[in-house]
Structure 1
Amino acid sequence: MKINAFADVSLRAIMVLAAAPEGTLLTTQAVADAVGTPYNHVSKAMVRLRALGFIDVERGRLGGSRLNEAGRKATVGELLRHLDSRQDPAECQSPTKACPLINECGLRHAMNKAREAFYRELDTVVISSLPHARQMIPVFQSIGLKPEFRTPATLS
């Protein structure tokens, strides 16, 4: 399955926050630079992550965002369920009209079951366990920080 661009940016942003040293506030610009994505896209992702309760935000000149306890425990499947804006995984609409087979369509039902199976598999992956040193050290060096990596024992 393919995730939408907004979910991709949101996952990358939360992974950067997960690797940040405990208590470190990262500006949206720093996160945007770290993930190589335009500020406007990351800004929208940060607003959504805050609304979902995965990050805390402090405003002001010295403000920024950090992953909170809910964010540390969040799974990829959980986050994708919140961010997947596609109502129908089978594109059952054309520019001119709905598919004539749309009523009681077995394909739509099968695609929805497959999407949920995809999410269930990703429910086993805790987002904060994904960043690793080889991946994040160059990213954090580019924005002037040293990443922090938690062992599975410290994630509990």
Structure 2
Amino acid sequence: MKINAFADVSLRAIMVLAAAPEGTLLTTQAVADAVGTPYNHVSKAMVRLRALGYIDVERGRLGGSRLNESGRRATVGEVLRHLDSRQDPAECQSPTKNCPLITECGLRHAMNRAREAFYTELDTVVISSLPHARQMIPVFQSIGLRPEFRPAAAQR
């Protein structure tokens, strides 16, 4: 299965926020720089993550975002279910008309079951457990954050 670009950016943003030192607020620009994605894409992801209840946002000159407890417990499967905008994993429509086999289509049902199996497997992966020091230290140095890294599990 392939996830969409929006879901990919959102997962990477959660990973960066999960690895940030406890209490640290990261601006959307800092997260965008950390994940190597344009600001406007990350901004949309941050708005959606806030609406889903995974991050807290403080406004103002010294504001930013941080992962909240719900975000720390979120699994990859859970987040992808919320962010997957595709109604159908199979392309059942063409520019000219719907597929003539669309009613009672066994392929659509099989593809939906496969997608759910994909998410179910990812329900075992807690996003905040994914970042590790070798990965995050250079990322944090690149955005001017302290180079030390404390594993997400130790931040609780």
SS of the equivalent of 2:53 reads coil
Conserved? CA contact 1:28–1:65, under 8 Å:
yes
Query: Aligned residue pairs: how many?
Result: 156
- Give the C-alpha shift of residue 99 in structure 1: 0.3
Residues 129, 150 of structure 1: 8 Å contact kept: no
Task: Give yes or no for contact 1:72–1:155 (8 Å, CA) kept in 2.
Answer: no
Q: How has the CA–CA distance of structure 1 residues 91 and 7 changed in structure 2, closer, same or farther, with 3 Å as cutoff? A: same
C-alpha distance 56-72 of structure 1, shift in aligned 2 (>3 A): same
Q: Which runs of 5+ in 2 are unaligned?
A: none
1:15-51 Cα distance to aligned partner (Å, 9 max, x none): 0000000000000000000000000000000000000
Q: 1:121 to 1:152 in 2, by over 3 A?
A: same
Aligned sequence identity (%): 91
Q: Is the 8 A contact 2:89 2:108 kept in 1?
A: yes
C-alpha distance in 1 between matches for 2:85 and 2:32: 22
SS, match of residue 141 in structure 1: helix
Residues 29, 2 of structure 1: alpha-carbon distance in 2 compared, 3 angstrom cutoff: same
Gaps of at least 5 residues in structure 1 are: none
Residue aligning to 1:133: 133
- Separation in 1 of the partners of 2:64 and 2:24? 8
Distance 1:25 1:69 in 2: 15
Contact 1:20 1:147 in 2 (8 A): no
State the Cα RMSD in Å. Answer: 1.5
Change (3 A) 1:33 1:152: closer
Match of 1:38 in 2: 38
> Which residue does 2:145 correspond to in 1?
145
Of 112-121 and 144-153, deviating more is: 144-153
Q: Decide whether aligned partners of structure 1 residues 19 and 62 sit closer, same or farther in structure 2, where only a CA change above 3 A counts.
A: same
C-alpha distance in 2, partners of 1:15/1:29? 15
